[in-house]
Amino acid sequence: MPVDGRGSELRSADLSEDVTSQVLAECLASFPHVRLTVTGACMEPALPSGRIVRVRAAERRPPRWGDVVLVRQADGLRLHRLVWGPPVASAVGWWRTKADRGPALDARVRREDVLGTVVAVEGGRLARLGPTVTSLAGAIFARIRQFLRPR
């Protein structure tokens, strides 16, 4: 039976957020790691825009507090830091992520929303403890300021 489908057979992927998420999950499950290019400045200076990172599936490399993780948020996939997660938080409870340069924590996520963990930065190295403490402290102070603000 003739079927439609001719035309431009090959093009750089322009996938929906949902399909991108599925492609990433499939690639993470099938390969030792996936390479991703960082976009945006929210993780600078740890991860400048344009830097290539290697992400390993969360099943292969369980995320830990301080890791930069590939996380599924309501507004899309993000490479953000896990500022509340194992071992300081329960593996089955709520976890929190945050952009190093962001003023506030991201929405709460479950373990299954964290697709992978950044295990290497091509041409650089990834600081873990310092940025995590700074990032978390910044979010806490921002929250305290919010509470202390005259109403």
Which residues lie near another protein (CB under 8 A)?
A: 1-15, 18-19, 22-24, 26-27, 30-37, 52, 54
15/107 with CB nearer another protein: 15
Burial of 109: CB neighbours in 10 Å, binned 0-12, 13-18, 19+:
buried
Closest distance between another protein and the C-beta of residue 6, in Å?
A: 5
Query: Which of 39, 121, 34 is CA-nearest to residue 77?
Result: 39
21/64 with CB nearer another protein: 21
19/140 with CB nearer another protein: 19
Closest distance between another protein and the C-beta of residue 52, in Å?
A: 8
- Other C-beta atoms within 10 Å of 108: how many? 12
70/136 with CB nearer another protein: 70
Return all residues near 51 (Cβ < 8 A) that are at least 6 apart.
37, 38, 121, 122, 123, 124
Closest distance between another protein and the C-beta of residue 80, in Å?
A: 17
**CB 70, CB 24: distance < 8 Å:** yes
